[in-house]
Chain A
């Protein structure tokens, strides 16, 4: 299992559109994707799950990835967390 923490710069945090982009990307990988923020945990392949994390700008979000292709998934999804804007 891989674990890494990222800072979200998106000023609106993680609402529908970024959550959608993230979930679509996560669904492209066979491994299990979990996100943790401020003590809450959610399935990275569920946009509702991501929304309920209440991710805001400057939050430090931890990404946990477990299973096949975990390294590629960490790279792609980590980049989304830090660069995504909208």
Chain B
């Protein structure tokens, strides 16, 4: 009979193999009196030296296998070997208490491990692992017991352990090791991060029961769900064998797509960008092959705190995103609060219809001080990359002109101050209010680009609150009405030689993408995880053909008709 264990899926994939259980941590060293503390310090120094040599080798191995960035972990470890708080303090303890080095090191390291483990911040808690790793390495040398070497494992296996240190993970022989499962850990453990960059399936935090399994037990790892099937049945083996094969093939395809620009079957190029809400999301956008950032929501800078962010702080955040994107386009949207996003510290009056109230640009034009701070921060960051500034929630032309006037004033002020600015900063607006879509021809003369925010555009066009379950049926991205609005916007922009993007959920919706390609959308911005599947989809579509089909969709009577038509055409193509 098989049984299941569940933990945290730390690195995706499937593996099927017998397990190898790593030996548990050695017992804590006992306190022993030493007659000659100087000699003990010398013994400690020798163990540090040996650890240094060993770590230097691991660092080099990691650099070769995973690149300089991952190898930095071990530079951190090498630094710990010189850290005054750890090494000097251990030496002092040896001298003052005339105790053995193993014990002194354990006591000193233990204090820091306990301090770090009690922290609120998960990332800092995880750093206790580094100190444990280094202390254990030095202790092995003091005891003359070599560290277990995982690079020599030769048989196909899944590693089972209490925890894997970063150095263990970096040394795994991936010819043999199909994946690993640990008793403790979280998604942000070093071992989890390493597993993702090594691209090896990993499940962590599965609990003590794991260690009861003898070496050689056959298991199935489903590291998408975080499940381990112990002693799988024949049916389970067959089922997961197929899943693994399918998953691995799919991964190969997506990896290949990552390196390619987005192009349709007939060679038309479009840009696939990612929506981000925090600076650290850039990494995910890049990993998923995004060709730009189509929407950077700046609200995060203002939320979860009790005062407004300074110009300097904002500038630094924008700068990091621009630098990380290395010249790829980055559309940054100015503050969009109100609606369902509140800032308690601004003490704004309650509104009975917040989605129709003082939100986004409407609010910024009322609170010009706050708007100007953000614009200055954006302008100052502009020289670090390819910045495009976007205003949200514009209903009438006067709002756009007013926003542009404030921007021009701040720009002139900065130039007078001698601040270096980016060469060409495009200025655009969101199309999310129906009035702006209908009058897109007027707006197109005044902007460099449009980005259609479909979530709001649909809710305002259908007059249906998207949070309200009872009217959720009206949320219909592919309804001909919405397609007509999108079409109007693209045609209006085309006449003025401007580009149009889309940054709502619709841009990554596989049923909508063929139609949007056909209507001539230039940029599709979506959650990072949708970029590669969308690139794959577009590669199989003829833009020429879909421009004809999209024309037809505009005249249909319902979203259902459109969706059926799209599905039928997609099937017909295959």
Q: Which residues does A use to contact B, with CB under 8 Å?
A: 7, 9, 11-17, 19-20, 23-24, 43, 45-49, 51-52, 54, 56, 58, 82-83, 85
Contact = CB atoms under 8 A, between A and B. Distances in A.
Nearest to B324: A85
20 contacts: A15-B124, A15-B126, A16-B72, A16-B73, A16-B76, A16-B130, A17-B76, A19-B76, A43-B85, A45-B84, A46-B84, A46-B85, A48-B85, A48-B131, A51-B112, A54-B120, A58-B305, A82-B312, A85-B316, A85-B320
A11 B278 contact: yes
A20 to B, nearest CB: 5
Nearest to B300: A11
A51 B279 CA distance: 22
Contacts of B310: 7
Interface in B107-142: 112, 115-116, 119-121, 123-124, 126-127, 130-131
Given A9-B316, A11-B278, A43 B84 contact: yes
B461 interface: no
B22 interface: no
A11 B127 contact: no
Contacts of B305: 58
B124 A51 contact: yes
A82 B112 contact: no
A16 B166 CA distance: 13
Contacts of B317: 9
B83 interface: yes
A82 B316 CA distance: 8
A86 B93 CA distance: 35
Interface in B254-297: 278-280
Contacts of A20: 72, 75-76, 79
A47 B256 CA distance: 40
Given A16-B130, A47-B83, A52 B123 contact: no
A63 B167 CA distance: 33
B313 interface: yes
Q: Is chain B's interface secondary structure helix, strand, loop, or mixed overall?
A: helix
A52 B310 CA distance: 27
Contacts of B84: 43, 45-46
A48 B86 contact: yes
Contacts of A24: 79
A17 B72 contact: yes
A13 to B, nearest CB: 6
B80 interface: yes
Contacts of A85: 279, 316, 320
B87 to A, nearest CB: 10
A23 B121 contact: no
Given A43-B85, A47-B83, A54 B119 contact: yes
A51 B75 CA distance: 16
A47 to B, nearest CB: 6
Contact of B115 (A11, A12, A52, A58): A52
A48 B75 CA distance: 14
Contact of A16 (B86, B119, B121, B127): B127
Contacts of A45: 84
Contact of A48 (B112, B123, B278, B279): B112
Given A45-B84, A47-B83, A48-B86, 4 more contacts: A13-B123, A48-B112, A51-B112, A82-B313
A68 to B, nearest CB: 18
A15 B123 contact: yes
Interface string B25-40: 0000000000000000
Contacts of B313: 7, 9, 82
Contact of B316 (A12, A14, A54, A83): A83
